[in-house]
């Protein structure tokens, strides 16, 4: 927590801010917010609460419909990203818009390259990028390295460095830690603390409670587009924060611990899907795996352990070059994801933008897309059936009817994740492979998704869940398969004696 006393006058302030989206939906409802220099201010709330809307309003992406934005106490009109940058506000969105084919230096200085008589001075560009990275404590980054060769965590740091080129007074960070390992989070936080200590005001959005408590000075909680409260981190406990986010006490959270008890563990008989020595060079070592009907199996391991690669082999997204698959005891050869779907083997990718949702299409169109593709475009789904499917999906995933005609990319990250899952659930898959199904989701959304997973298992469906949140696997799975270094190293039957520590010890154990 910052030891420096923030400035008395906010750098940027929202007074009675209102944002109305096309169709009349009020995404932000008379919100007051003060952003002060030398302070990390967290925004928290459920998916759709208005967190990203605040960021987009401050960034000039969605101008205010009503209310006032003030800079150093004076009203300003920020109606475009250019105007926001001119006001000293820099934004790093959840999906950082970087260019992987360019180098670190080129990405950091993009559009701000020093120029000489003959055009861009590349030597000066690299020096300026290195100087800026050094100021942020990132002097070990090779400015000549192409971004595509760097891990996601490093790219996020490059995005932040790029935002600092213009020496902004305010930096907006929308879910900067999504998908990062703890060591990467620690490094990111070290950078943010350096920025804060230099007097930069930081707005930090995250759904990770521990991270918010570790890095933030103040928290504003939003609920249904309105401000539910604001409090200093030192005066707030976790239960109070969650209660404020939910607008109620915590009976919903208590359901999380009982999800496993709501479905039966069925591990006898012929597996619905069985992998025998399945593998792919440089991706997954030969692996055996059996999935039974009505069973939830967790897949644990660090990133790079082969979790996602195995999921893609099981569903036909990648071709195995060794081993065999069996579906209900019969040999199965998959030549692509469509063939996998025709057999009822469906994968929900951890990156919802890679086919999980189709940007530009409405929520309504996204919800029926997979089912229509399975049936073929020459056999349109009858209107009555289509409306019934959409009604079920909205109710099951807790989505309001007002989102139906909106482009799916206008929704919050958690709402997009629900749409991505719903379009697969409506196909009634036999085996559903979920890669990070609750990534980017708040607690209520996680409850909804986990409840649906348990319901599908109770109806005889088979679910393979990949999650970086080990407590989620312990809470939900009947069995947990552990991978390390691109291969299976163990399998645990879940029960009262199994904890996160059990999995951590297995992953950390030497070969």
pLDDT, one tens digit per residue, over 211-229 is 888 899 999 999 888 998 8
Is the predicted pLDDT of residue 256 greater than 60, yes or no?
Answer: no
Counting residues of the chain whose pLDDT is more than 70, the rounded percentage is: 89
* Vertex 282 angle, CA 278 and 284, to 5°: 30
SS3 483: strand
Is the predicted pLDDT of residue 191 greater than 70, yes or no?
Answer: yes
Is the predicted pLDDT of residue 263 greater than 60, yes or no?
Answer: no
Q: For residues 101 and 99, give the distance between their C-alpha atoms in angstroms, rounded to a whole number.
A: 6
Counting residues of the chain whose pLDDT is more than 90, the rounded percentage is: 29
Indicate the fold that domain 250-344+430-511 takes in CATH: Rossmann fold (3.40.50)
Average pLDDT over residues 187-197: 90
Write down the pLDDT at residue 3.
44
pLDDT, one tens digit per residue, over 297-309 is 999 887 678 899 9
Is the predicted pLDDT of residue 5 greater than 70, yes or no?
Answer: no
Write down the pLDDT at residue 150.
84
Greatest mean pLDDT among 313-322, 436-445, 456-465 lies in: 313-322
Nearest CA-CA partner of 473 in 508, 432, 438 = 438
- pLDDT band, very low/low/confident/very high, at 179 (cuts 50, 70, 90): low
Residues of the chain with CATH 3.40.50.300: 12-247, 250-344+430-511
Write down the pLDDT at residue 415.
81
- CA gyration radius, the chain: 24
Average pLDDT over residues 232-259: 62
- pLDDT band, very low/low/confident/very high, at 440 (cuts 50, 70, 90): low
pTM over 0.75: no
Average pLDDT over residues 353-372: 79
- pLDDT band, very low/low/confident/very high, at 454 (cuts 50, 70, 90): confident
Of the ranges 46-60, 129-143, 153-167, 344-358, which one carries the lowest mean pLDDT score? 344-358
Q: What is the dihedral of CA 481, 482, 486, 487, to 10 degrees?
A: -60
User: pLDDT averaged over the chain?
Assistant: 84
Q: What is the largest CA-CA distance in the chain?
A: 76
- pLDDT band, very low/low/confident/very high, at 449 (cuts 50, 70, 90): confident
pLDDT, one tens digit per residue, over 266-281 is 466 789 999 999 999 8
Average pLDDT over residues 445-456: 79
Write down the pLDDT at residue 125.
87
Q: For residues 57 and 68, give the distance between their C-alpha atoms in angstroms, rounded to a whole number.
A: 11
Residues 325-337 as b or e (16 or more Cβ within 10 Å = b): bbbeeeebebeeb
Is the predicted pLDDT of residue 6 greater than 80, yes or no?
Answer: no
Pick the CATH number of 12-247 from 2.30.29.30, 3.40.50.300, 3.40.1180.10, 1.10.10.10: 3.40.50.300
């Amino acid at each position: 927590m910052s030891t420096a006393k923030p400035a008395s006058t906010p750098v940027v302030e929202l007074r009675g801010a209102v944002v109305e989206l096309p169709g009349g939906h009020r995404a932000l409802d008379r919100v007051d917010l003060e952003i002060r220099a030398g302070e990390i201010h967290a925004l928290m709330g459920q998916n759709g609460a208005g967190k990203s809307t605040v960021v987009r309003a401050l960034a000039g992406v969605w101008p205010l419909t009503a209310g006032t934005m003030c800079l150093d106490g004076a009203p300003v009109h920020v109606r475009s990203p250019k105007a926001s940058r001119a006001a000293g506000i820099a934004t790093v969105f959840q999906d950082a818009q970087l260019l992987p084919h360019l180098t670190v230096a080129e990405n950091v200085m993009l559009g701000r390259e020093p120029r000489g008589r003959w055009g861009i001075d590349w030597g000066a560009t690299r020096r300026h990028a290195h100087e800026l990275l050094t100021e942020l404590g990132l002097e070990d980054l090779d400015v000549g390295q192409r971004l595509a060769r760097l891990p996601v965590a490093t790219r996020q740091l490059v995005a932040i460095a790029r935002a600092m080129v213009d020496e902004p007074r305010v930096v907006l960070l929308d879910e900067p830690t999504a998908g990062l390992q703890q060591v990467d989070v620690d490094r990111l936080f070290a950078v943010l603390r350096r920025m804060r200590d230099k007097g930069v005001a930081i707005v930090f959005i995250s759904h990770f409670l521990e991270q918010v408590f570790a890095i933030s000075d103040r928290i504003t909680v939003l609920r249904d587009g309105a401000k539910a409260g604001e409090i200093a981190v030192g005066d707030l406990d976790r239960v109070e924060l969650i209660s404020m986010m939910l607008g109620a006490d915590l009976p919903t959270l208590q359901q999380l611990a009982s999800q496993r008890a709501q479905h039966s563990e069925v591990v006898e008989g012929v597996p619905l899907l069985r992998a025998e020595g399945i593998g792919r060079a440089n991706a997954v070592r030969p692996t055996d795996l059996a999935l039974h009907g009505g069973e939830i199996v967790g897949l644990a391991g660090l990133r790079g352990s082969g979790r996602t690669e195995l999921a893609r082999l099981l569903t036909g997204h990648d071709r195995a070059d060794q081993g065999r698959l069996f579906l209900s005891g019969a040999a199965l050869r998959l030549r692509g994801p469509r063939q996998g779907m025709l057999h009822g083997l469906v994968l929900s990718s951890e990156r919802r933008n890679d086919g999980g949702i189709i940007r530009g299409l409405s929520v309504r169109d996204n919800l029926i897309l997979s089912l229509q593709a399975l049936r073929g475009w020459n056999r349109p789904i009858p209107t009555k059936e289509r409306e019934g499917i959409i009604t079920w999906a909205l109710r099951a995933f807790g989505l309001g009817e007002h989102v139906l005609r909106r482009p799916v990319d206008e929704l919050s990250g958690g709402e997009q994740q629900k749409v991505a899952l719903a379009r697969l659930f409506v196909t009634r898959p036999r085996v559903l492979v979920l890669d990070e199904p609750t990534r980017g989701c708040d607690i209520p959304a996680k409850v909804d998704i986990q409840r649906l997973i348990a319901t599908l298992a109770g109806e005889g469906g088979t679910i393979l869940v990949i999650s970086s949140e080990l407590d989620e696997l312990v809470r939900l799975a009947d069995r947990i398969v552990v991978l390390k270094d691109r291969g299976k190293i163990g399998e645990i039957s879940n029960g009262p004696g199994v904890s996160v520590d059990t999995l951590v010890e297995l992953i950390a154990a030497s070969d």
